[in-house]
């Protein structure tokens, strides 16, 4: 099993965990992306949403589990075949939520083109944007090193 | 498979409007969002549809540049399964009737 260990700067990342946990809490009852699907009857639509919610919650739980006591003593987190997909999806869900709830003043064009001038954001939005970029960096690391495991899994 | 193999003439059961609407071919369409990484979308397309890198990248660019891409077309039940899986990965995916066929 391939395993990727990453050492993170505790003073930088620890404050971001407050934003991440708050965002995960806000995802407890809602999907990161509302997914209306026409033509589904009420029962199937409800089951569809509930199943997606359950999976979203489990992905977020597995992601938060990376930041355990070992992380707070060493700064290390690890990805492997077993958690890579969940972490990727959780990062996507949290980034979508951050964009929707806390980065709505940033234009789509700026976000897509990485053209965000963080200095022009207020302090809270700067921290949120740093969190948004941090999660994208984790996703890039997983895709770069564990893509084969994900595609074969 | 028939439950009544010896019976040759069976009147069709009445079909609801919903059932009728679900027949025919359906398209799985992925819509653009400004958040998910291009590399992530490519990976998801490869994982879900078994696309090669080039095909996945072409669909991703179509989503990015044109706002949408038809990634699969076929029977409703399988199309629903694909939409569900794409939604698990937090892509915005919808179903459309494939009226061109």
Distance from CA of A127 to the nearest CA of B (A): 17
Task: Tell me the mean pLDDT per 10 residues along chain A, length 153.
Answer: 94 96 94 81 90 97 97 96 97 97 90 83 93 97 96 90
Q: Which residues contact A45 (CB under 8 A, 6 or more apart)?
A: A37
Cβ–Cβ below 8 Å for B40 and A48: no
The reported pLDDT for the residue numbered A113 is 78
Confidence of residue B1 (pLDDT cuts 50, 70, 90): very low
Question: Helix, strand, or coil here: A14?
Answer: helix
Which domains, ranges and CATH numbers included, belong to chain B?
24-97 (3.30.1390.10)
> What percent of chain B has a predicted confidence (pLDDT) above 90?
73
Number of H helices, E strands in chain B: 4, 3
pTM (whole model) above 0.95: no
Q: Mean pLDDT of all residues in chain B?
A: 84
Among chain A residues, the shortest Cα distance to B37 is held by A136
Distance from CA of B8 to the nearest CA of A (A): 33
Cβ–Cβ below 8 Å for B43 and A147: yes
Q: Which residue has the higher pLDDT, B91 or B17?
A: B91
| CB-nearest partner of A89 from B22, B90, B92 | B90
Cβ–Cβ below 8 Å for B46 and A136: no
For chain A, the domains span 3-152
**Sequential DSSP letters for A76-139:** EEEEETTTHHHHHHHHHHHHHHHHHHT-TTS-HHHHHTT---GGGS-HHHHHHHHHHHHHHHHH
| CB-nearest partner of A41 from B18, B87, B91 | B18
Tens-place pLDDT, residues B37-62? 999 999 999 999 999 999 999 999 99
Among chain A residues, the shortest Cα distance to B95 is held by A37
B80 chain-A contacts, CB cut-off 8 A: 37
| CB-nearest partner of B37 from A39, A93, A139 | A139
């Amino acid at each position: 099993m391939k395993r990727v260990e990453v050492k993170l700067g505790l003073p930088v990342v620890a404050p971001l965990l407050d934003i991440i946990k708050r965002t995960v809490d806000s995802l407890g009852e809602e999907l990161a992306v509302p997914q209306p699907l026409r033509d589904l009857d009420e029962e199937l639509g409800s089951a569809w949403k509930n199943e997606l919610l359950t999976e979203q919650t489990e992905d977020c739980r597995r992601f938060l589990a990376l930041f355990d006591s070992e992380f707070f003593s060493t700064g290390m987190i690890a990805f492997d075949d077993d958690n890579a997909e969940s972490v990727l999806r959780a990062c996507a869900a949290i980034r979508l939520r951050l964009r929707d709830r806390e980065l709505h003043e940033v234009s789509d064009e700026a976000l897509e083109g990485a053209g965000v001038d963080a200095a022009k954001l207020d302090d809270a939005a700067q921290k949120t944007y740093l969190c948004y970029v941090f999660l994208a960096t984790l996703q890039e690391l997983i895709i770069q090193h564990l893509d084969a495991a994900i595609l074969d899994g | 498979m028939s439950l009544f193999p010896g019976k040759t003439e069976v009147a069709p059961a009445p079909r609801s409007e919903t059932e009728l609407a679900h027949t025919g071919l359906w398209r799985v369409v992925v819509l653009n969002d400004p958040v998910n990484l291009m590399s992530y979308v490519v990976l998801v397309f490869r994982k879900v549809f078994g696309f090669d890198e080039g095909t996945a990248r072409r669909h991703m660019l179509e989503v990015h540049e044109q706002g949408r891409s038809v990634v699969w077309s076929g029977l409703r039940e399988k199309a629903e399964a694909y939409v569900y899986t794409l939604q698990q990965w937090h892509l915005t995916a919808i179903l459309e009737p494939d009226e061109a066929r």
